[in-house]
Amino acid sequence: MATNKNINRIKVVLAEKSLTNKWLAEKLGKDQATVSKWCTNNAQPTLEMLLKIASVLQVDVRELLRPTEDDATYIRVPKDLTKSNF
């Protein structure tokens, strides 16, 4: 299970886009200290806020989240295979 220190990638995405916490805080109408806590993973944004962050940064919301160990082992079975009689 992921710890609080491994949940989001907001800081990484901001760095990749050469943007700052202050810029994101202004765009979201949030206090810079709040955004800083998200970036350091000391606090987490709500799902609604995470969607807003993704929109402001113009990224898929999944880019803001670290994959879990379960994600690495998840395999999607095509629908046509689920109908087969094995």
Mean pLDDT, 10 residues at a time, the chain of 86 residues: 70 97 98 97 95 96 82 58 52
Domain positions in the chain: 1-60
**What φ, ψ does residue 65 adopt, rounded to 5°?**
-115, 140
Alpha carbons 5 and 7: distance in angstroms, whole number: 6
Structural domain 1-60, CATH architecture: Orthogonal Bundle (1.10)
Q: What is the pLDDT of residue 1?
A: 45
Q: What is the pLDDT of residue 67?
A: 77
Q: pTM of the prediction?
A: 0.73
- The three-point CA angle 15-18-23 to 5° equals 95
Sign of the CA dihedral 57, 61, 62, 68? Answer: positive
Query: Which residue type does 75 have?
Result: I
Sign of the CA dihedral 29, 33, 36, 38? Answer: negative
